[in-house]
Amino acid sequence: MKKAFLLLSLFLFFSLSACSQPNTELKPKLLLISIDGLYPSLLQKAKQQGFLLPNFDRFLKEGSYADAVIGVFPTLTYPIHTSLMTGVSSNVHGITHNYLFEPEYAQYKNWMWLVNDIRVPTLWGQAKKAGLKTANVDWPVSIGAPVDFNIVQYWHPTKKTGHDLLQALSTPLLVASLEKKLGPYLVGDWSIEGDRQRLRFAQAIIKQYQPDFMTIYFASLDDTEHKTGVESQSTFFILRNLDTFLGQLLDTIYSTYGNQVVVALVSDHGFMPVNKSINLNTAFQKAGWIKLNKEKRLTEWDVYSLSGEGFTEIRLQKKQDYHKVLKLLQQLARDPQNGIDRIFSQPEIEKLGGSIQTDFIVTAKRNFVFRDALTGPLVDTHVNYAATHGFMPSVPEMNSCFFIMGPHIPKNKNLGTISVLDIAPTLAKLLGTDLPQAEGKNLFLEHT
Ligand SMILES: [Zn+2]
């Protein structure tokens, strides 16, 4: 009996060892870092201004890089970060906007936080299926991600309950246990201090858990570009700080893993200066298609425009309103002072990458941005930001970045212009897995 028990124990020990220790020794670890709003010419201009960026430069010398990454529609943070995780366009992965389309709750915009809304496999899911240990700090659309050590991206509009909810939605006890050493995790804080805490939490997770695949997100560059405009001195100072953070992160990565680690650095979009806003909902309200209460809050709508900055998404309650709304939009577009560039309807919208539920996409001319104001002038000098994105992916200012270095990655190789859809299948291959639905190609086909 004792012998049988011993044999059973040995069998279980070896079986469990085999299950819990996948054959990952031959594959390097992979760290994917996103700096929101980083674009190639910003790095060049910062250097021309005398800002040293030794850690960004390290990727140029020791790895491969793109001259430019062309995005997909829409050039917004959530859709593009999801394309980075899946290798497919927005209308395929399902995250077609930053926000849910909820006109009644416009003052408390709900972001598309949930991985459940992503319709195709992600790098996280594929890595987990391959038996890899995964981690994440603050990557957009990460609530419910199949990640072993997950600090999700979430903030509550009122900021009051954000911290409790973030803890509840992240891996149980992870945030609380790290906070004992590192102080409070700064929820929904897009300043450089928020990024400093994201860095420290990421470093602690790397040292303590040594994930095989990890995603890390930094927000302060995007926030500063929005507020202070493109290529402001504040933007360059943030970039200089982020270069220091990158150096600290690389130190942690190399001291933990040695050289057997691939580090990829990506971004989601560039920036364009804006100084006038277009408020289509004011025209819809004047036409009687949006009803307001005494407090000027929306109570009913037949037609509503949800801004994505450089574009806006318009939906109708009743499809029979299509022609009268199109007529009004065409009339508004005829006056160049109104800043409307193009009007798209289905099936053009789906081809563009927009949602099947959207009736019209309207794009803005240079220097114009869409806002969701319900009253006031159609065109206004009031803008939420000095600079923004959401313009067509073909606009060069919307280009983003890609850098990668590590084992099997060619050194000092310029990959030229690539598609944002090429990044996920390339990373999947490096992880020893694949993304069968990816629309892009593996950038290092001959090397991996
Ligand atoms: Zn962004």
Q: What is the DSSP string of 354-406?
A: --TT-SEEEEEPTEEEE---SSS-SEES--S-SEE--S-TTSGGG-B-EEEES
Confidence of residue 221 (pLDDT cuts 50, 70, 90): very high
Please tell me whether residues 320 and 384 are part of one structural domain: yes
Q: State the distance from the centre of ligand 1 to the C-alpha of 199, rounded, in angstroms.
A: 18
Residues 157 and 202 grouped into a single domain: yes
CA–centroid distance, 388 to ligand 1, in Å, is 9
Does 408 fall in a domain? yes
Q: Are residues 382 and 237 in the same domain?
A: no
Q: How close is the Cα of 330 to the center of ligand 1, in Å?
A: 30
Residue 446 confidence (pLDDT): 54
- Tokens read off for 103: 């006109």
Q: How far is the CA of 302 from the centre of ligand 1 (A)?
A: 30
Domain membership flag for residue 277: yes
How many whole angstroms from 79 Cα to the centroid of ligand 1? Answer: 9
**What integer pLDDT is reported at residue 217 of this predicted model?**
98
10 domain-assigned: no
Instruction: State in Å: Cα 361 to ligand 1 middle.
Output: 20
Q: Cα of 4 to ligand 1 centre, how many Å? A: 60
> Could you report the per-residue pLDDT of 125-151, keeping only the tens digit for each?
999 999 999 999 999 999 999 999 999
Q: Return d(Cα 72, Cα 18) in angstroms, integer.
A: 41
Q: Is 340 contained in some domain?
A: yes
Position 24 in a domain: no
Residue 28 has pLDDT above 90, yes or no: no
Mean per-residue pLDDT for 81-91? Answer: 98
Q: Are residues 338 and 211 in the same domain?
A: no
CA of 333 to the centre of ligand 1 (A): 28
For residue 12, is it within any domain? no
Q: Are residues 314 and 403 in the same domain?
A: no
Number of structural domains the chain divides into: 2
Q: How far is the CA of 268 from the centre of ligand 1 (A)?
A: 5
CA dihedral (395, 84, 390, 402) in degrees, to 10, reads: -40
Interval between CA 269 and ligand 1 midpoint (Å): 6
What single string gives the DSSP state of each residue in 62-115? HSEE-SEEE--SS-SHHHHHHHHHHSS-HHHHS--SSB---GGGGGGPPB--BG
What token pair was written down for 175? Answer: 């945030």
Distance from Cα 73 to the centre of ligand 1, integer Å: 13
Question: What is the CA(135)–ligand 1 centre distance, in A?
Answer: 21
Distance from Cα 209 to the centre of ligand 1, integer Å: 28
State whether 258 and 278 are in the same domain: no
Look up residue 246 and give its two tokens.
Answer: 């990158």
- What's the CA-to-centroid distance between 426 and ligand 1, angstroms? 21
Task: Examine the domain organization and report whether 201 and 280 are in the same domain.
Answer: no
For residue 156, the model assigns a pLDDT of 85
Ligand 1 centroid vs 138 CA: distance in angstroms? 13
95 C-alpha vs ligand 1 centroid, how far in Å? 14
* Same domain membership, residue 174 and residue 163: yes
pTM, two decimals, is 0.93
Distance 355 CA to ligand 1 centre (A): 19
For residue range 318-346, list pLDDT tens digits in order.
Answer: 999 999 999 999 999 999 999 999 999 99
Do 172 and 75 reside in the same domain of the chain?
yes
The closest of 191, 189, 146 to 166, measured between CA atoms, is 189
Q: Is position 446 within any domain?
A: no
How many helices (H) and strands (E) in the chain? 15, 20
Q: Containing domain of residue 294, as a range?
A: 273-388
How much distance in Å is there from the Cα of 211 to the middle of ligand 1? Answer: 25
Query: In terms of C-beta density within 10 A (0-12 exposed, 13-18 middle, 19 or more buried), how is residue 157 classed?
Result: middle
- Residue 82 shares a structural domain with residue 158: yes
420 CA to centre of ligand 1 in angstroms: 13
Confidence of residue 19 (pLDDT cuts 50, 70, 90): very low
- Does 194 lie in the same domain as 59? yes
Measured in degrees and rounded to the nearest 5, phi and psi for residue 312 equal: -135, 150
CATH code: domain of residue 192: 3.40.720.10
Does residue 414 belong to any structural domain of this protein? Answer: yes
| Mean model confidence pLDDT for the chain | 93
Q: 48 alpha carbon to ligand 1 midpoint, in Å?
A: 24
The rounded percent of the chain whose pLDDT value lies above 70 is: 93
Distance 221 CA to ligand 1 centre (A): 9
Span 148-169, mean pLDDT?
A: 89
Read off the pLDDT of each residue in 149-166 and give the average, rounded to a whole number. Answer: 88
Shared domain for 44 and 90, answered yes or no, is: yes
Q: Does position 24 have pLDDT exceeding 60, yes or no?
A: no
DSSP per-residue codes, 201-266: HHHHHHHHH--SEEEEEE-HHHHHHHHH-TT-HHHHHHHHHHHHHHHHHHHHHHHHHTT-EEEEEE
Mean pLDDT, rounded, for 110-119:
96
